[in-house]
Structure 1
């Protein structure tokens, strides 16, 4: 679940303290006792790359939509009342940054900035350099601890007490940072590079899967298909729609397509820029973040089978607006006559609808849209 700090400035102060304390403390009290000068310089270079990437992740704007942006055909028109501008596809308004963010991934408390299209490479490089530096340091620390243990029978004055103290403090702390940042990097690589989606979009996929599993998504997809592609509403497609609604063998992947997912290499090029710039501190993507290439599955053809037309719906396919439940089914409303008076029992249906709005839905991590920093009132 997303971290929320009482004082936002702690999001910068805590990482700054940890980088300084672990990096420079380890160098001065441990590494300088036995490492060669050349290896100490290499360690400091890696540490410097952490600072450069962190600075850029903090101070680089995550990306704003073009002024007077007009939505392209094939996406949901989404007007932001606060920015008085349409939001491009994959964009959201951040309540903390007070702006619409291109391809918003999340608002990061540790940078006091959003992670979006234009600063995502800096954020990812920051994670990479933290992992590389802490991995090298942890390897050296383990070797040093093992060496001292082998020499434990030697007189105590052979080793500095300060080195022993800082080995005891910094080794577990350094390993904790390595582990937590590695988990975060793996999550970013899995979402953005492997699957081509932001954390918010991964959250949306989980939300859609939950609606599909509970039987409340398919009708909404069909309704949106008739709404977006009215010319596709032929008698044959009407029959196909009834078949899809009644059969139980339909799988989620047969009706929901994430249109921005390509192969991992193309995803990496799109979000990080050319491969020779991936580790360059100032490397950025070539695209502008206001529009994105889509996969072949998202192409619409009126004569295609209904399942293929549904797969071509704009993202998110349920519209991404307020209610994610469609109340077209009579099964959600119980009606009968009692003493000549009709009683309609729809309170349960109403409660279900209210609890499954996009703004109030939580994934298995306990995250809602609000936890990613999204201004839900502007959604």
Structure 2
């Protein structure tokens, strides 16, 4: 059994321990049981908490249906359409391929291990309501615990038989510590998610914004351009995040409705997947500009280094295989060769400086300079710029994103069959 499968039961166990064992303890500790009004209010909050958490776990995070994919591919509104190699389908704006859900998720925020589900366009309202009711109920419980801890401290010099038993003291201590730590962590998470809702960014897009700002700072040093594979240079300029359309509009879009009461209703309707395919933009950038901005390290190399001779282009390694086995072998090689990683930016620049400063008569072979500047290296998945981390030390994979699929989708990788199908549709519409 994987540890991840225990996450959801653990959360239910924590809720049960904090919410109901505390009420049992209050029956035997000063200042006595909760008053009737307090008990009703507290348990209503607990019911809302359990409902919203259950919906965060069970509501489907959405999938891009084939009908929606065709509409996206044929509308022609997007200047560049990203293509998911695993789903073999168009990836809508703000969608990302989740390595846990094994599909592209509309407006994916992150894959939450504590709900075993993606926080997405359809599940974000439920997730935010869960955080709200969790924090609210724990603040209420913290108040009750504080009253009882204060009484224990006040009577600390009295004989022990006049106070609570050791079991009750230990129980009170565990409740206070667990509730305080969980309240602290979830309060930060709630504030962060409210902020993201107010500016209409997801956790992944926050990572992309920081990544873009890093590239802009790098490009300023090199005259506005950064090196890309195969000798290309990519122009990098400051680009505004397009989906921040105003606080009120952001709240309506993120919560799926403009009805404020529905924002707090545990049984509020789930936003439809169809509303998570296209998003209104603020118009600060031209129509031909897309998010995320150009990133030279998202561009894959056209050919692996060292493949220069014709003898390497054609081989007979599959001569003894059946047609089906040949196809399987080809796909395995294709999958292994589809991403050729590059070393981190700092290493490439240092190698470039060494190469340019070397004497003109000195022989700098590939192993000394070329591989350091643009090779796979020895660190595998940690050697390329997909290993870049933001200021909090997070990579894309920390949000549940499949890095190999997500990071290298800067170029259109749409199959020829798909391009021909689109061409037939355009010709049909024109005629």
Q: Give the TM-score normalised by structure 2.
A: 0.68
Aligned to 1:39: 38
Aligned to 2:298: 321
Please say if residues 193 and 265 of structure 1, whose CA atoms lie closer than 8 Å, have aligned partners that are also in contact: no
**Aligned ranges 1:25-174 → 2 under 5 Å:** 25-30=21-26, 33-68=32-67, 69=69, 70-71=72-73, 72-74=76-78, 76-152=80-156, 156=160, 159-161=163-165, 162-174=167-179
Q: CA deviation at 1:265?
A: 2.2
Q: Which runs of 5+ in 1 are unaligned?
A: 228-240, 246-253, 301-311
Q: CA deviation at 1:125?
A: 0.9
Q: CA deviation at 1:76?
A: 3.1
Distance in 1 (CA, whole Å) between partners of 2:205 and 2:123 is 18
Aligned to 2:279: 292
SS of 1:296 mapped into structure 2: coil
**Aligned ranges 1:175-190 → 2 under 5 Å:** 175-190=180-195
Please say if residues 155 and 163 of structure 2, whose CA atoms lie closer than 8 Å, have aligned partners that are also in contact: no
Aligned to 1:259: 242
Please say if residues 65 and 102 of structure 1, whose CA atoms lie closer than 8 Å, have aligned partners that are also in contact: yes
Q: Which runs of 5+ in 2 are unaligned?
A: 301-341, 407-431
User: What does the per-residue CA deviation read over 1:43-65, in whole Å, with 9 as the maximum and x for residues that have no partner?
Assistant: 11111111111110011111212
Evaluate the alpha carbon distance shift between residue 356 and residue 266 of structure 1 in structure 2; reply closer, same or farther with a 3 A threshold: farther
Match of 1:350 among 351, 374, 378: 374
Aligned to 2:225: 219
Aligned to 1:235: none
Match of 2:265 among 280, 295, 301: 280
SS of 1:293 mapped into structure 2: coil
Q: CA deviation at 1:152?
A: 4.5
Evaluate the alpha carbon distance shift between residue 147 and residue 167 of structure 1 in structure 2; reply closer, same or farther with a 3 A threshold: same
Match of 1:200 among 183, 197, 204: 204
Distance in 1 (CA, whole Å) between partners of 2:280 and 2:385 is 26
Q: Give the TM-score normalised by structure 1.
A: 0.77
Evaluate the alpha carbon distance shift between residue 265 and residue 134 of structure 1 in structure 2; reply closer, same or farther with a 3 A threshold: same
Q: Which runs of 4+ in 1 moved over 6 A?
A: 324-327, 341-344, 352-356
Please say if residues 107 and 113 of structure 1, whose CA atoms lie closer than 8 Å, have aligned partners that are also in contact: yes
Please say if residues 389 and 395 of structure 2, whose CA atoms lie closer than 8 Å, have aligned partners that are also in contact: yes
Evaluate the alpha carbon distance shift between residue 264 and residue 163 of structure 1 in structure 2; reply closer, same or farther with a 3 A threshold: farther
Distance in 2 (CA, whole Å) between partners of 1:99 and 1:64 is 7
User: What does the per-residue CA deviation read over 1:17-42, in whole Å, with 9 as the maximum and x for residues that have no partner?
Assistant: 21111111111112673311221121
Deviates further, 94-103 or 280-289? 280-289
Aligned to 1:9: 5
Structural RMSD (CA) = 3.6
Larger CA Rg, structure 1 vs 2: 2
Aligned to 1:338: 361
Evaluate the alpha carbon distance shift between residue 75 and residue 121 of structure 1 in structure 2; reply closer, same or farther with a 3 A threshold: farther
Distance in 2 (CA, whole Å) between partners of 1:99 and 1:375 is 10
